[in-house]
């Protein structure tokens, strides 16, 4: 405080009149190790003094940024320097899309340190009522003759779903968490805003009989993806894990399969990479049906290789490839599964829902409970035996009868 004589208070040499109020500065160490002045402002001397004291405290704790970036500038740095080198390619593609389409257009110009909880809440509210076709110019990018909604003056009201809004908020929260860690901001305002969780639509999985009909139809039509469907249904493998399977990971003598790679679509690239975590890697025993299906697939691929000749491209020794040896697009496998389900006269379920049918099929194939325990990854055999007890003997024996005949025997 200034004394009645007009002299400055002790230690207030850096507080001075400025424009319509007061300014103050503190010498701080910036994140890049330089010594610079950091300024604060207030309408009154007391306000400037309080900010000055707070700044002194921050300077003693560690580096202080003298220039604050915009949200867009920080997000660009975060994507290139933090996300891309340290996270999976698919994570980068997801975060980059959220930043480019949903965050930067609304919050990009704001200063990072000035972003508030209210800003984030209002942004999320605006997302729910903003037509993304209009905002992203989707219809406008079409040829004039093919424009049918927003560019033609008829808004199609393509609002962001709950899942999209949650993904956008999560991306901003992840970025601001890093900003807090690097001491550019004091708190993560995105973490303080809640969003409604998207409701998952529950879909009834296939019964053993339905799965049996699907596999029997695939065998009868000599489906080159029959082995893939068998692994999905009998071992509960995920789409990427099946497509990433190599011949080196199959031990026909021991009757085992090693899951350690997956195929993923990341932007414009199809990647053959390791599974997400080491816990995902595992040796799985192969039921007789799967072993026979894989031997059939090997013979099919040899035939494809001969037919393709010089056009054959060997992709990491993958088990499931196109007729030219290239990796199968993950989205195409999903579409082919739906197509084959309709062809077999079955209700269509998402490919990922087949994992729920796996345990019942193991009973149908008369797989020993101890082997089933490893496949299902149950910690205790009692859990596996509960599954076996629930299955109907008559149903499970009849479900795959036609399948065994179609494959040339019960083996």
> Rounded to whole angstroms, how far apart are CA atoms 360 and 212?
11
- Residue 238: is its pLDDT beyond 60? yes
Nearest to 55 by CA among 28, 33, 32: 28
| Residue 35's pLDDT band (cuts 50, 70, 90) | confident
For the chain, the domains span: 15-61, 71-192, 208-406
Distances (CA, A) of 370 to 285, 289, 358: 10, 17, 15
Residue 260 has pLDDT above 60, yes or no: yes
Q: In terms of DSSP H, where are the helices of 182-287? A: 208-220, 226-235, 239-243
Q: Has this prediction a pTM greater than 0.75?
A: no
Q: Length of the chain, please?
A: 411
Topology agreement, domain 71-192 and domain 208-406 = no
Angstrom CA distances, 53 to 2, 29, 48, stand at: 16, 16, 9
Q: Each residue of 279-292: pLDDT tens digit?
A: 444 677 888 888 99
Within 13 A of 258's CA, how many CA atoms are on the CB side? 11
Q: What is the pLDDT of residue 278?
A: 46
Given a contact cutoff of 8 angstroms between Cβ atoms, the answer to whether 144 and 158 are in contact is: no
Q: With beta carbons less than 8 A apart as the criterion, state whether 275 and 282 touch.
A: no
With a pLDDT cut of 70, the percent of the chain lying above it is 79
CATH number of 208-406: 1.10.443.10
The rounded distance, in Å, linking the Cα atoms of 214 and 302 is 25
> 71-192 has which CATH code?
1.10.150.130
How many angstroms from the chain centroid is the CA of residue 366?
36
* 123 contacts 80 by C-beta, under 8 angstroms: no
Render pLDDT for 50-85 as a digit per residue (tens, 0 to 9).
Answer: 888 888 888 888 777 666 789 999 999 999 999 999
Residue 274 CA to its chain's centroid (Å): 15
């Amino acid at each position: 405080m200034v004394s009645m004589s007009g002299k400055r208070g002790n230690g207030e040499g850096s507080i001075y009149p400025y424009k319509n109020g007061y300014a103050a500065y503190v010498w701080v160490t910036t994140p890049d190790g330089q010594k610079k002045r950091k300024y604060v402002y207030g309408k009154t001397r007391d306000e400037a003094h309080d900010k000055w004291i707070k700044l002194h405290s921050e300077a003693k704790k560690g580096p202080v940024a003298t220039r604050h970036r915009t949200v867009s500038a920080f997000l660009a740095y975060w994507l290139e320097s933090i996300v891309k080198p340290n996270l999976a390619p698919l994570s980068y593609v997801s975060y980059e899309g959220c930043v480019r389409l949903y965050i930067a257009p609304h919050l990009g110009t704001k200063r990072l340190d000035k972003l508030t909880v209210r800003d984030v809440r209002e942004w999320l509210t605006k997302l729910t009522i903003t037509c993304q076709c209009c905002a992203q110019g989707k219809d406008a990018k079409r040829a004039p003759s093919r424009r049918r909604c927003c560019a033609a003056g008829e808004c199609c009201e393509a609002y962001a779903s709950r899942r999209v809004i949650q993904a956008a908020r999560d991306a901003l929260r992840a970025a601001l968490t890093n900003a807090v860690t690097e001491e550019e901001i004091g708190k993560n305002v995105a973490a303080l805003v809640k969003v409604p969780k998207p409701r998952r639509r529950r879909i009834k999985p296939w019964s053993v009989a339905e799965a049996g009909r699907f596999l029997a139809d695939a065998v009868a039509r000599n489906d080159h993806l029959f082995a893939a469907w068998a692994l999905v249904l009998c071992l509960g493998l995920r789409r990427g894990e099946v497509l990433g399977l190599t011949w080196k990971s199959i031990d026909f003598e021991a009757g085992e399969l090693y899951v350690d790679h997956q195929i993923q679509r990341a932007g414009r690239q199809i990647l053959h990479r390791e599974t997400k975590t080491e816990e995902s890697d595992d040796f799985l025993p192969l039921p007789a049906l799967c072993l026979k299906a894989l031997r059939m697939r090997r013979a099919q691929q040899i035939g494809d290789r001969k037919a393709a000749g010089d056009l054959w491209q060997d992709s990491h020794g993958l088990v499931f490839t196109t007729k030219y040896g290239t990796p199968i697009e993950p989205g195409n496998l999903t579409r082919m599964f739906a197509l084959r389900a309709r062809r077999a006269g079955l209700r269509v379920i998402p490919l990922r829902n087949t994992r729920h049918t796996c345990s019942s099929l193991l009973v149908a194939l008369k797989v020993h409970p101890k082997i089933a325990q490893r496949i299902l990854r149950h910690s205790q055999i009692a859990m596996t035996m509960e599954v076996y007890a629930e299955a109907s003997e008559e149903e499970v024996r009849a479900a795959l009868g036609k399948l065994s005949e179609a494959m040339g025997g019960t083996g």
